[in-house]
Amino acid sequence: MRCLIVVAALIALPLEAAEGQWTLGLELGTARFGGSARDTANTGAPAQWRPGDATTIGLRLEQRVGRLAVGLKGSYGKPGLSGAGQGLTITDRTSGELIEVATLVAFQVGGIGPSGAVRVEVGPALHLWKFGDDFRSRFSALGALGYEWPIGRFSGAVRLEGMISGSWFDEGDLPSEYQLRPTWRYGVTLGLRYRL
């Protein structure tokens, strides 16, 4: 509950004092995960356990004031669970759903052409990873570099995104030879946004 109050305050406070442009967007992306747990004893088991790679779909609501934007983004994917080692990765997609909610602050740092904008985005994110019947929640730092161009009342967007958080596994999830490591992700999203 406190998390929702913080997210609402991060969005509402700066926007209440300034009028700007609202946009609503749909995003489709790919995500590649790494880290999480590594075998330190070379037992012949998978060298690494991590969330699998995934396709994501998301919604984004954003308020822009000049070169600054503040937004809320939610996305869903089903990465499953991957075991990787010796050039082979096996992914179980029957579990491992992911919901991500992020608050982002974007700064326009340049442009390409007469109306395209290059933006840098940073902010905190909450990840809810449903693994079997168990929900895992992790806070993370999120960063992105994006390019946006106008298409009438719409705009297109492409973003390169990265994230890092604590391991998505808990102590005792895996045998003792596995060391928990930060979970990281990088990916690309394509979006279509509508100016409200």
Mean pLDDT value of segment 58-69: 94
Give me the domains of the chain, ranges plus CATH numbers.
2-195 (2.40.160.20)
pLDDT given for residue 13 in this prediction: 46
pLDDT given for residue 41 in this prediction: 80
Helix (H, G, I), strand (E, B) or coil at 170: coil
CA gap 189, 124 in Å, rounded: 18
The torsion defined by the Cα of 7, 19, 142 and 173, in degrees rounded to 10, comes to 20
pLDDT of 12 higher than 70: no
CA gap 59, 46 in Å, rounded: 35
CA 5 from chain centre, in angstroms, equals 20
pLDDT given for residue 8 in this prediction: 52
CA gap 11, 66 in Å, rounded: 16
- List, for residues 93-130, the tens digit of each pLDDT value: 887 899 999 999 999 999 887 788 999 999 999 999 88
- List, for residues 165-186, the tens digit of each pLDDT value: 999 888 888 888 889 999 999 9
Mean pLDDT value of segment 64-82: 93
**Strand 21-39 relative to strand 178-195, pairing:** antiparallel
Q: Residue 81: name the closest of 121, 124, 129 by CA.
A: 129
Q: What angle do CA 83, 36, 31 make, to 5 degrees?
A: 75
pLDDT of 40 higher than 90: no
CA gap 91, 150 in Å, rounded: 39
Instruction: Please provide the average confidence, as pLDDT, over all residues in the chain.
Output: 87
Question: pTM for the complete prediction?
Answer: 0.80
Whole-angstrom distance between the N-terminal and C-terminal Cα of the chain? Answer: 29
Quote the tokens at residue 103.
Answer: 């608050």
